[in-house]
Amino acid sequence: MKTESTAKYVLRLTLTLLIITTLVAASLAGVNSITKPEIDRINAEKTQKAIEAVLPGGGEALESFPDETGLVTAVYQGESGYAVQVAPAGFDGEIDMMVGVGSDGSVLGISIISHTETAGLGAVAADSGEKGQAFRSQFTGLTGQVLVTKDGGTVEAITGATITSRAVSQGVTAALACVADLG
């Protein structure tokens, strides 16, 4: 160490770090090339399932759609109406959800694709149990502005998860507005 010149010393530090980062990057690229097709497939499958859950027969993605609320991420058109993917902000991050809207402009059903709400509270909105199903079925048939009872609407919020319930209502409202604009 003592005999090493400053230039050599700096070079040694730089090269060591460079080699380590290069090797890490290379191995990540390798793993990514294996997992990417699988991850893409799983995501596509999830979206497809969510569409079919709210819009019988599924639908084709529209390339352009009106989005005044800024919450709409995709719109799928099917025979019996539209499936609108919205991402309202929940208690803890965005709630990625699909809203089916019938040709009469009312909600056919909603399904939550992914979320990071609190387990046992907000997460109830997405779970497959009785409570979750009861919560989601409230939205079926609604039109216009969807609000929770606390805000003067009809949606019974999940106990202890008003923010999540509000977010879901907001998403449904945005989806309805989007379809109304589509005509």
Partner 1 sequence: MNFKKQLYEGVLTKNPVTVQLLGMCSTMAITTSLFNGLGMGLAVTIILTCSNILISALRKVIPSEIRIAAYITIIAGFVTIVDLLLQAFIPALSESLGVFIPLIVVNCIILGRAEAFASKNGVLASAVDGITQGIGYTLALVIVCVIRELLGSGTFGGGLLNGGQGFRIIPEQYPAMLLVMPVGGFLVLGCVIAGSQWLMKHLEKKSKKKEAAKR
Sites of contact with partner 1 (CB under 8 A):
12-13, 16-17, 20-21, 24, 27-28, 31-32, 34-35, 38-39, 42, 93, 114, 116, 118-121, 129, 159-160
CB of 82 to partner 1, least distance (A): 26
CB of 21 to partner 1, least distance (A): 5
64 vs 128 by CB, closer to partner 1: 128
Q: Are 71 and 159 in contact (CB under 8 A)?
A: no
Q: Which two tokens mark 66?
A: 């009106």
The neighbouring-strand residues paired with 114 are 96
114 vs 140 by CB, closer to partner 1: 114
75 vs 117 by CB, closer to partner 1: 117
E strand spans, the chain: 60-61, 72-77, 81-86, 96-102, 107-114
Strand 60-61's sheet: what is its strand order?
60-61, 72-77, 81-86, 96-102, 107-114
Sorted by sequence, the CB contacts under 8 Å of residue 126 that are 6+ apart come out as 95, 112, 115, 117, 132
CB of 88 to partner 1, least distance (A): 17
80 vs 118 by CB, closer to partner 1: 118
CB of 178 to partner 1, least distance (A): 26
